[in-house]
Structure 1
Amino acid sequence: IIVITIVSWLYCLGLWIAISSLVFVQCVPSSSSALTASLTGSSSGNSASSNAMQSPQKRGSGAADLTKDQCNKTVDIFEDVSSPEVNSLNVGRPLTCWYRFRTLKGAPRDFVLRLRFKKFKVGTLLNATYCEGGYLQIVDGNAKTDVSNRREPGMFCGEAEQPQTFISETNYVKVLFHTDNFTDQTYFTFDSRAEQQTEVYLRYGQHPELYPNRRGEVVQGSYCEREYRDCRLQTCYVQSPAYPGLYPRALNCRYKLHTRQPYIKLYLQNEQFGVDGQRCENVMTCPIRPIGSGKEHCPYDWLAVYDGRDEHSPLIGKFCGLGKFPFSIIGTSQYMYVEFVTSPAGPLLNTGFHFNVGNWPGHVETAGIKHGICDWLLSSDSLKDSSASEGIFLSIAHWYPPNTSCSYHIKGRIGEIVRLYFPSFRINRIESPILKYDGDCGESLTIYDSDHPDPARIIKTFCDTFSRPMEKVDFVSTSPSLYVQFDSKTGSYSGSSLYYWAHYDFFNNTRFGDPVPNTLCDEVMYAWKHPGGKIRSPMNSLIFKRTGGADVRCPYKFVG
């Protein structure tokens, strides 16, 4: 019997080789060692045996490929994968399908997988935190890859009729599909392809070999925690995982940013921001969420930016929405901390963000004492210690919250006066407000002839809505102090709408008599006040500068 069985198998093998280009022969030795053959293209009498063992077909056979829709298998790159057909064996029952991807032998390790979901409908999203009735999971990476989200891959659910793309961070991906009740209203279709990292230009940029840490250094054991050092233009990319494709669910990503010089700047360049911009594909049911900030506006997925080294630093904003990010975010130092959080479950939508990191060249060394973020004491003694003839201060170049007030108390010695002028001054509309304000003077700059903001001693006020800048015009105090105050009702993510470069200096205004009001240098000597004393030319050199080259006349009157 054993001999007959072996002969039967050998005969079957030879027959299969001879006619494999035409049909497929399935050989099953019976109890009597007879040969049983079934042709895949034959009559319905063989349908039972073909269901019991589906036969592998040649690649490219299209709809005739009976294996491509099976569950729980490793599939080839470029292969189309669809949910199984609904039949009497699976309809109305739970169904779980997983797929891994077979890569080509000899392929380089620096490739990623692009999965394109052509159609998708599974489960229902509840409260943006749970998928009811079914879900899709995308596991990116495993224990051997540098990063992996295998511990918390999250869930996608809902419906997507337009193609959606996921681009992995690693060369290993597993897709898992589950439904509690499989029907013809539950389906998915996707294909895949492998791409080298250099081909994903929007992620890695130009010449990625020159900037191996352009996307930051990965914190060991994490999926999306990264550290960036010494960032400058085009050397640091802060991106959502899987960018520019769909970002995964259940994320808690942290990015620590650093530049060599203040002020650190986070900005988008020609890319769209898409964090929780849509909760479903139908814009009538789920209107597009405009870009905004705040817990109420961003309850599910959000990007938080902190002004400092960690999450304990001041919160600049918590952002989400879809569209062109309208402004840059500028910190007050060399450090910034960014956190990206996504809900455990969500739609198969939204492609995240791509920020560049640099620094805003608005930092100058100011000779004075700083209190808080933007309050300064600029004294004559500090200026003398710096060996400079003039002091400089600039408008606020970094972010600040609504209702911010910044002051510059310019203080001279007894007998000195203060001169202030603006070599450069521009007044723009408020381009990046944190709080919208429709009234006049959302931001203003006021100069006081005083040592405090005295409304009775205002020299000039500039407003963002109606004032004209005054460049190279002297504002001179009548006492040793001048006080400058900037006020903002709106706040800003990227600096003041009143851009100015201010210079100040001090002049000796010592007089030996009583000054005559409304004159340049006239003095009166009263005998009962000054029985004896000095008389000399003006010590205030500003008098000679302000005449514009004309003659200077200083009458001195003596009253006995």
Structure 2
Amino acid sequence: MFFLYFRFSLSKKVEKVEQGRSNQFRSTKTPLDYLPGPSCNRTYFGDVGRTYELEIRRPREDRLPFICHLNFTAGGGDLGDLIQLTFDTFTVGKFVSFTTEGCPDGHMSIQESERPLTGGQWCGSAWGYTVYYSETRSLNITLQLDRLSEQGIGYNFDFKLAYKFLKKGEAHLRYGNRSVASWRGDLVPGSYCDRILEGCDTRPCRIQSPNYPGVYPRNITCYYRVEHRQVQRGKHVLLAVRQRNSHKVHIKDQIVKYDRSQRVLRVWDQCNVVQDYLTVYDGGSTTDPVLVRLCGGDAVPDIVSSGNNMLLEFHTSPYDNPFHPVPLSFLPGFELEVQVLSVDARSHHYVRDVHHCEVLLTSFDSAYGILENPRHSLPPNTTCRYHFQGRTHEQVWLSFIKYHAAPADPAAYQLSAECNARLRIWDGRINSLPGQQMNVSLLGDFCKDEVPRLCDHTLLSNSSRFTRPCSPSESYVSSGSELTLEQTLKQGSVLFPLDFMVRYEFVNTMLEGAHVKGSDNPCDRVFSSSITSPSGGRFQSPRSVFYYGRGGAHNLSCVMRFEPNLGERVQLTFTRAKFGGRPCTTQKDARTGRLRCVHNLKLSNASTGVAELWISEYPWPGVQIPRDCMCSKLSDPQIITTFTSSVVEVNFTVTLMNITQDFNHFNFEGEYQFISTSSTEDVENCLKFKKERRLRGSSGYIELRSPMVRNRMTSMKYLLRSSVPMG
């Protein structure tokens, strides 16, 4: 590793220092009140691989203010490309503040060649093992001491460093190695550390603090703009930064303490002590939403933008004392990896408008689907509303397959008692504009450790295994055609990720006809002929999933009753029908011409279930005459026209449905027509003769004449009942 190489290459031996490869001298220990020697105001060169030591002696009080300039230049080739400075001993004045007049007695400043002056200062005493790596081939150190310590036993100046010249190819932590070279972006001309990174899908992009992996400069603001211009058709690009190695992130957040337990990522106001922080914007400008502001040290989770631009701002305070994280394996500053992600442009995996998180899902687009949390990070104080809008005859069925909102520690993150992540489920449409709310009820309100009803066993489903359907206690069903999920995140989703998956379905509740009075079954319907109603129409099996196996039902029985007026008969035309592939065929009886269901005798209905469509007549009230039966797929229209009864019923029965079956497996569609067949006089005669043809007794006779006498009924129905009780 680059860092370890620098650390262990230090030599305790005091080497000769070359000034312009001439004027050699040896640094020696002298009394602390010795006048500053020839070490100041010089340029230092050196050979690659050698370590040199340099000490600046404490000035006398009558020589104050003391100013010392040290230039270190890597001459290229064997003279190196970069400079490594290791501060073995550092005490310059005293440190009192990170932000305002923090170095009243004196300071050290570093200026790199070809970079603007930052004005940042270090003072006080150094903590730990402090190393500085240059960005350029030359840098200047300025030491300034304005006053000595007023206490006779204390000294506020003690400066000793070791310096070394390195080749760029040896700086593996910064630039990578020959097999994988890190790309740090293009430096913006005239800036100290602003960079632009693009094309990160084809090369390993890294965002690094200035002078990484050493201490970063003071009083700087760096802007890292990440862009991706080439977008594949049909895709939407997201940008992500992260660092899973915790030792590669340490942005100073407090006065340094030798306590490893203090290493944690901090956010927002917690970074105000030192005012060193990294801010991530969801876009290419500082006016875009802020996803997070970080400091401290730990692994950085994925921070994902909602589009193809991301801006990172690194800010440091003007004053500090040199430091290094503890233990030494942790590096000061930061390095973040950049990734380019893509999602389907038509999906709901990203928010179209980052300032207005509203998602609309309608049954016009899809009758069902899966809704997941956005694949990108959400800024603090975000409220996302997911509106489910069906047709007027539809309901919304929601099932949470998973839901997890990471908890936040109110003490650690200065949160109020209010929910960090709050989920509310509304039985209707909720508008984002105040004063426009509809009168909708709340189906659920969840905060902190509370979670909505879960149907998590659905996660066990795969291509070869199906799980049982979600029950009403594991899901939510709207009372009308609309429903709204409202998710609020007080702290955003970067450090407190939100992960949910919802299956939604728009359930068709339409049922033709009117409900049969006295029936508890909603799918029992009646179609009556009247002056105010049409003489015909369509009828079909119910399309609500809750009547079928996938909706939790095992059996289905629906009766559709057709009631013509006197002098009318019913004509039914079945246009299509499906019976789930049950072992049964529809055959026409050669003698009667009627349809009958022929079951496979080798299989038992008790094990395979029944799926049949029965058509029955009711010539007299309470007297049912089964007429036709269908049980196999119907592709061509089947017309039933020989009805002479006053009432006809169609009974659709399905038993033993499995958990995958619904109206796509069992269904029928048809048309009905009330047809006038008799005059008023014929109707009166018909009623008279119908009463005469209800026969009861031990024996009797029926007389048929041909040709038929006018004003008699054209169909001869007789009801024969035994006078002997059954059983």
Q: How big is each residue's C-alpha offset from its partner over 1:518-537, in whole Å with a ceiling of 9 and x where there is no partner?
A: 74623355788868554633
2:68 maps to: 97
- What is the Cα deviation at residue 317 of structure 1? 3.4
Q: Which amino acid aligns with 2:323?
A: L
Partner of 1:154: 120
Look up the equivalent residue of 2:85 and give its one-letter code.
L
| C-alpha spacing 1:464/1:515, structure 2 compared with 1 (3 Å) | farther
1:83 alignment partner AA? I
Q: Which residue of 1 aligns with 2:215?
A: 246
| 1:367-378 equivalence runs, <5 A | 373-378=356-361
The alpha-carbon distance between structure 1 residues 71 and 440, as it changes in their structure 2 partners (threshold 3 A), is: closer
> TM-score, normalised to structure 2's length?
0.57
Q: What is the deviation of 1:490? A: 4.5
For 1:515 and 1:335, locate their aligned partners in 2 and report how far apart those are by CA, in whole Å. 61
Instruction: Note if contact 2:291-2:380 (Cα within 8 Å) is conserved in structure 1.
Output: no
Q: Using the TM superposition, name which of 328-337 and 475-484 deviates more.
A: 475-484
CA offsets 1:240-272 (integer angstroms, 9 cap, x no match): 101111111121211111246543222222134
Task: State whether residues 522 and 555 of structure 1, in contact with CA within 8 Å, keep that contact through their aligned partners in structure 2.
Answer: yes
Q: Which has the larger radius of gyration?
A: 2
Note the C-alpha offset of 1:497: 2.7
SS of equivalent residue, structure 2 residue 86: strand
For residue 48 of structure 1, what is the aligned residue in structure 2? Answer: none
Instruction: Work out the CA distance in 2 between the residues paired with 1:450 and 1:518.
Output: 27
What is the alpha-carbon distance in structure 2 between the residues aligned to residue 465 and residue 360 of structure 1? 31
Go from structure 1 to structure 2 and tell me whether the alpha carbon gap of 1:230 and 1:462 turns closer, same or farther (over 3 Å shift).
farther
Shift of 1:377: 2.2
Q: Choose the corresponding residue for 1:133, options 83, 101, 105.
A: 105
Contact 1:264–1:332 under 8 Å retained in 2: yes
Structure 2 SS opposite 1:255: strand
Question: Which SS does the other structure have where 1:291 is aligned?
Answer: strand
Which residue of the partner structure matches residue 171 of structure 2?
200
Q: Give, in angstroms, the shift of residue 140 of structure 1.
A: 1.6
2:303 corresponds to: 329
Contact 2:253-2:274 within 8 A present in 1 as well: no
Q: Please name the residue that 2:693 is paired with.
A: none
Identity %, equivalent residues: 25
CA contact (8 A) 2:253 2:270 kept: no
Would the alpha carbon gap of residues 101 and 435 (structure 1) be closer, same or farther in structure 2, given more than 3 Å must change? Answer: closer
Q: Counterpart of 2:584?
A: none
Q: How does 1:432-443 map to 2 (within 5 A)?
A: 442-443=420-421
Q: Output the amino acid matched with 2:39.
A: Q
What secondary structure, in the 3-state scheme, does the structure 2 residue paired with 1:235 have?
coil
Distance 1:278 1:315 in 2: 23
Corresponding letter in the other structure for 1:239: Q
Q: Distance in 2 between matches of 1:94 and 1:265?
A: 50
* Preserved contact between residue 362 and residue 388 of structure 2 (Cα < 8 Å): yes
1:303 aligns with 2:281: no
Maintained 8 Å contact 1:300/1:342:
yes
Count of matched residue positions in the alignment of Structure 1 and Structure 2: 483
Q: Any residues of structure 2 matched to 1:46-445 within 5 Å, and which?
A: 70-77=39-46, 78-84=51-57, 93-101=64-72, 103=74, 106-107=77-78, 111-128=81-98, 129-130=100-101, 131-142=103-114, 148-149=115-116, 151-160=117-126, 162-181=128-147, 184-207=155-178, 210-211=181-182, 214-232=183-201, 235-259=204-228, 261-272=236-247, 273-279=249-255, 291-294=266-269, 297=272, 300-320=275-295, 322-325=296-299, 327-349=301-323, 351-359=332-340, 365-366=346-347, 373-381=356-364, 383=365, 390-421=368-399, 424-430=401-407, 442-445=420-423
SS of equivalent residue, structure 1 residue 311 = coil
- Equivalent residues of 2:396, 2:504 under 8 A apart: no
User: What is the deviation of 1:481?
Assistant: 2.4
Letter in 2 for 1:378: L
Out of 538, 550, 559, the residue aligned to residue 555 of structure 1 is 559
For 2:449, the equivalent position in structure 1 comes to 465
Contact 1:464/1:497 (<8 A) preserved: no
In 2, the alpha carbon distance for the partners of 1:298 and 1:262 equals 36
Match of 1:36 in 2: none
Deviation at 1:352, TM superposition (A): 2.1
Is the contact made by 2:263 and 2:297 (CA closer than 8 Å) also made in structure 1? no
Amino acid in structure 2 at the alignment position of 1:521? C
Q: Do the aligned partners of 1:267 and 1:329 also contact (CA within 8 Å) in 2? A: yes
Distance 2:311 2:416 in 1: 32
Does the 8 Å contact 2:94/2:104 carry over to 1?
A: yes
Does residue 1:522 correspond to 2:524, yes or no?
yes
* Letter matched to residue 188 of structure 2: V
Give the deviation of 1:191 after TM superposition: 0.8
Going from structure 1 to structure 2, the CA distance change for 1:283 and 1:163 (only over 3 Å counts) comes to closer
CA–CA distance in structure 2, aligned partners of residues 397 and 417 of structure 1: 28
Q: Distance in 2 between matches of 1:441 and 1:250?
A: 37
Q: 1:518 to 1:171 in 2, by over 3 A?
A: farther
Note the alpha carbon deviations across 1:397-436, whole angstroms, 9 max, x for none: 33334553322222222333444445x4242533699966
Shift of 1:73: 1.5
For the residues of structure 1 that align with 2:455 and 2:527, how far apart are their CA atoms?
38
1:304–1:340 Cα contact (<8 Å) kept? yes
Does structure 1 retain, via aligned residues, the 8 Å contact 2:408–2:420? Answer: no
Cα gap change, 1:122/1:441 in structure 2, threshold over 3 Å: closer, same or farther?
A: closer
**Does the 8 Å CA contact 2:378/2:493 hold for their aligned counterparts?**
yes
Contact 1:153/1:248 (CA < 8 Å) preserved in 2?
Answer: no
Counterpart Cα distance in 1 of 2:311 and 2:522? 55
**Deviations 1:102-123, CA, capped at 9 Å, x for gaps:** 54674376x3211000111112
Moved more, 536-545 or 93-102: 536-545
Contact 1:327 1:431 in 2 (8 A): no
Separation (CA, whole Å) in 2 of partners of 1:515 and 1:461: 38
> How far apart are the structure 1 equivalents of 2:537 and 2:490?
52
Offset of residue 182 of structure 1: 5.7
Q: Which amino acid aligns with 2:338?
A: V
Choose 406-415 or 534-543, whichever is displaced more. 534-543
Pick which of 498-507 and 66-75 moved more: 66-75
CA distance in 2, matches of 1:102, 1:444: 57
Distance 1:174 1:367 in 2: 53
Deviation of 1:488 after TM superposition, in Å, equals: 3.6
Distance 1:515 1:487 in 2: 46
The 1:135–1:488 alpha-carbon spacing in structure 2 relative to 1, beyond 3 Å, is closer
Q: What's the C-alpha RMSD, in Å, of the aligned pairs?
A: 4.2
Question: Structure 1 478/312 Cα, relative in aligned 2: closer, same or farther at 3 Å?
Answer: closer
CA contact (8 A) 2:57 2:159 kept: no
For residues 196 and 167 of structure 2, the distance between their equivalents in structure 1, rounded to whole angstroms, comes to 24
Task: Output the amino acid matched with 1:333.
Answer: G
SS state at 1:546 partner: helix
Greater relative contact order, per chain length (Cα 8 Å cut-off, separation 6+)? 1
How many angstroms does 1:393 deviate by?
A: 2.9
| Cα distance change on mapping 1:191 and 1:489 into 2, 3 Å | closer
